[in-house]
């Protein structure tokens, strides 16, 4: 395998791993954000719809929502990176060598 093919293979492997990891992270963050939001709403209702004393919880809820949006975006960006697995440079190298040999003869 040429260095170029190895690089293409490494890039594709990294893309697949990153996408899989980001999708797992997205699932975990979605669950976390949902749990934080539910807990915040419960505490808010128990506090007679008053935010006093729940400022840290409100901030955590906001940060979770913001981070979840970022993780969704990152997952979307990585999923849009083109797969390069359809390219095999060795075939082209062999064809060029064969043509050079024919032209020299």
Chain segment 10-48, per-residue pLDDT in tens = 999 999 999 999 999 999 999 999 999 999 999 999 999
User: Residue range 44-72: average pLDDT?
Assistant: 93
Q: What is the pLDDT of residue 39?
A: 93
- What is the CB-side half-sphere exposure of residue 27 using CA atoms within 13 A? 5
User: Residue range 55-77: average pLDDT?
Assistant: 95
Q: What is the pLDDT of residue 100?
A: 74
DSSP string, the chain: --HHHHHHHHHHHHHHHHHHHHHHHHHHHHHHHHHHHHHHHHHHHHTTT--TT-HHHHHHHHHHHHHHHHHHHHHHHHHTSPP-TT--HHHHHHHHHHHHHHHH-
Q: What is the pLDDT of residue 8?
A: 86
Q: Is the pLDDT of residue 57 over 90?
A: no
Task: Report the predicted TM-score, pTM, of the whole model to 2 decimal places.
Answer: 0.72
């Amino acid at each position: 395998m040429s260095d170029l093919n190895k690089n293409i293979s490494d890039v594709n492997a990294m893309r697949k791993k990153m996408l899989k990891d980001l999708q797992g992270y997205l699932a975990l963050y979605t669950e976390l954000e949902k749990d934080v939001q539910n807990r915040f709403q419960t505490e808010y209702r128990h506090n007679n719809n008053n935010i006093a004393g729940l400022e840290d919880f409100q901030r955590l809820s906001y940060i979770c929502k913001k981070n979840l949006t970022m993780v969704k975006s990152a997952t979307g960006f990585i999923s849009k990176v083109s797969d390069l697995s359809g390219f095999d440079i060795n075939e082209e190298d062999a064809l060029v060598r064969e043509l050079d040999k024919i032209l020299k003869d």
